[in-house]
Amino acid sequence: MTKDTLQTPAIILDLDKFENNLRTYQEAAGKHGKQIWPMIKTHKSTEMAKIQKQFGVTGFLCGTLDECEKLCDAGLDHIMYAYPVASEPSISRVIALSKKCDFFIRIDDPDGARLLNDAAAQVGAAVNYTVIVDSGLHRFGVEVPQIAAFADKMKELKHLVFRGISTHPGHVYGCTSANEVPAVAAEERDTMKAAAGALRAAGYKPDMVTSGSTPTFFDAVDDENISIYHPGNYVFLDVIQMSIDRAKEEDCALTVLASVISHPKEDLYIMDAGAKCLGLDQGAHANNSIKGFGYVKGHPELTVYSLSEEVGKLHVEGKTNLKVGDKIEVIPNHSCSTANLTDYFIGCRGAQVERIIPVDIRGNSTTKKAK
Ligand SMILES: Cc1ncc(COP(=O)(O)O)c(C=O)c1O
């Protein structure tokens, strides 16, 4: 089957580009003796995680406990949950994961930590953790001047095992041009160096120093302190990465295949893909530098200027050869959002459809667990 015969809209994964992205990041990490534990909330797919492992990743970072459990059930190991927990049933799930696999949680709050510790004590479990350090995103995280005192406070929680420190320089997505990115990477590196140094000076051993984002990866991969990197979006890349020169059109592996279904006005075409495929993201952290809702490959004259749920409007500037009935491929602004809007990726090699890859870790487990 070829791509041009597919029912539209279709979420296409270009396998060559995807594999190339995995290879490029893995080679850079390998060159500097670093590990990649990718953030898998980008694709929410067990099969994709297994492919990442084939390409050399040695662990995984997850955005939900569902993702952690699915990877653990699939026999994958070195699983880190990116965020703290502070309530049931999350606490019990973290303890169960700690018993089943080499699992790590992140902590930045002593009250939440105590809740987890007390529950672990009741069943005689030990939970590995890293301390979240704030490197500028100002979401989670202990600040460097407080890190040693935080570690001292955690010492009394005997069922929590200190393994190191973690951060995510997510404020890089506030950058509106490529030349702003290195300063964020420098902040990421400097913060982790200072945090690790402060902990060592206080007698702690932060064996794991983990950090990362796709935009800062190449500026931070040779850091002497960081040992594990957590890029997520690098598997697909997207318009947000293109806007800060972290990807080119030809690197983007995830696209929405759409048909042009109407041409109601001279400068207006309508496609059969809308917000339910492309999402409405235009950037994060108050960054609204991106024009439109995706980039139509090979058609710089088009802007995806408005999306309804199932259809989208394409505005033409200048001349176009577009016709009703044509198929077009749209690179989403934010590929993680597009991945979360489909049950499967259609894996293509060039024009050939090669395999269906299920997106099996979407949604959440609330209903399932409540039954
Ligand atoms: C804690 C954490 N680490 C890593 C990542 C991966 O970042 P990126 O998708 O920029 O590679 C994310 C993404 O949001 C994250 O929340």
The chain-wide mean pLDDT, for the chain, equals: 96
Q: What is the pLDDT of residue 363?
A: 81
| C-alpha–C-alpha distance, residues 128 and 317, integer Å | 55
For the Cβ of 82 lying below 6 angstroms from any atom of ligand 1, the answer is yes
**Residue 157 is encoded by which pair of tokens?**
């929680």
Q: What is the CATH number of the domain that holds 266?
A: 2.40.37.20
Please indicate, yes or no, whether residues 145 and 263 belong to a single structural domain of this protein.
no
Ligand 1: residue of 230, 237, 333, 338 to mutate (most ligand atoms within 8 A of CB) is 230
Please indicate, yes or no, whether residues 324 and 206 belong to a single structural domain of this protein.
no
Domain contains 260 = yes
Q: What is the pLDDT of residue 282?
A: 86
Residues 6+ apart with CB under 8 A from 267: 315, 316, 317
pLDDT in tens, 178-205: 999 999 999 999 999 999 999 999 999 9
Q: Which of 216, 235, 254 is the last residue of a domain?
A: 235
Report the pLDDT averaged over residues 248-266: 97
Query: Which residue type, as a one-letter code, is found at position 231?
Result: P
**Can you name the residues that pair with 119 across neighbouring β-strands?**
none
Query: Which residue type, as a one-letter code, is found at position 78?
Result: H
Cβ proximity of 12 and 256 under 8 Å: yes
Q: What is the CATH number of the domain that holds 38?
A: 3.20.20.10
Residue keyed to tokens 């016709």: 323
pLDDT in tens, 99-110: 999 999 999 999
| C-alpha–C-alpha distance, residues 307 and 300, integer Å | 18
Please indicate, yes or no, whether residues 107 and 58 belong to a single structural domain of this protein.
yes
Q: What is the pLDDT of residue 285?
A: 65
Residue identifier of the C-alpha nearest atom 3 of ligand 1: 168
Q: What is the pLDDT of residue 364?
A: 76
Please indicate, yes or no, whether residues 257 and 187 belong to a single structural domain of this protein.
no
Please indicate, yes or no, whether residues 231 and 270 belong to a single structural domain of this protein.
no
Please indicate, yes or no, whether residues 321 and 189 belong to a single structural domain of this protein.
no
Atom of ligand 1 nearest to the CA of 215: 10
Domain contains 364 = no
Closest among 53, 212, 74 to 135, alpha carbons compared: 212
Please indicate, yes or no, whether residues 225 and 254 belong to a single structural domain of this protein.
no
Cβ proximity of 86 and 115 under 8 Å: yes
Closest among 146, 187, 159, 148 to 91, alpha carbons compared: 159
| C-alpha–C-alpha distance, residues 33 and 3, integer Å | 39
Cα-to-centroid distance, 261 and ligand 1 (Å):
36
Least confident of 43-57, 201-215, 277-291: 277-291
Report the pLDDT averaged over residues 158-180: 96
pLDDT at 62 over 60: yes
Share of the chain above pLDDT 90, in %: 94
Ligand 1: residue of 25, 39, 236, 287 to mutate (most ligand atoms within 8 A of CB) is 39
pLDDT in tens, 297-313: 999 999 999 999 999 99
Please indicate, yes or no, whether residues 273 and 203 belong to a single structural domain of this protein.
no
For the Cβ of 211 lying below 6 angstroms from any atom of ligand 1, the answer is no
For the Cβ of 213 lying below 6 angstroms from any atom of ligand 1, the answer is yes
Report the pLDDT averaged over residues 51-76: 97
Please indicate, yes or no, whether residues 27 and 129 belong to a single structural domain of this protein.
yes
Domain contains 331 = yes
**Residue 117 is encoded by which pair of tokens?**
């510790």
pLDDT at 370 over 70: no
Please indicate, yes or no, whether residues 21 and 154 belong to a single structural domain of this protein.
yes
Cα-to-centroid distance, 167 and ligand 1 (Å):
9
pLDDT in tens, 319-329: 999 999 999 99
Residues 6+ apart with CB under 8 A from 31: 221
| Total domains, the chain | 2
Please indicate, yes or no, whether residues 230 and 316 belong to a single structural domain of this protein.
no
Expressed as residue numbers, the domain containing 109 is 15-235
Report the pLDDT averaged over residues 256-272: 97
Query: Which residue type, as a one-letter code, is found at position 323?
Result: K
Q: Which of 195, 212, 235 is the last residue of a domain?
A: 235
For the Cβ of 241 lying below 6 angstroms from any atom of ligand 1, the answer is no
Cβ proximity of 206 and 165 under 8 Å: yes
Report the pLDDT averaged over residues 203-226: 97
Q: What is the pLDDT of residue 283?
A: 78
Share of the chain above pLDDT 70, in %: 98
Q: What is the pLDDT of residue 193?
A: 98
Please indicate, yes or no, whether residues 225 and 276 belong to a single structural domain of this protein.
no
pLDDT in tens, 270-295: 999 999 999 998 877 666 778 899 99
Q: Which of 181, 213, 235 is the last residue of a domain?
A: 235
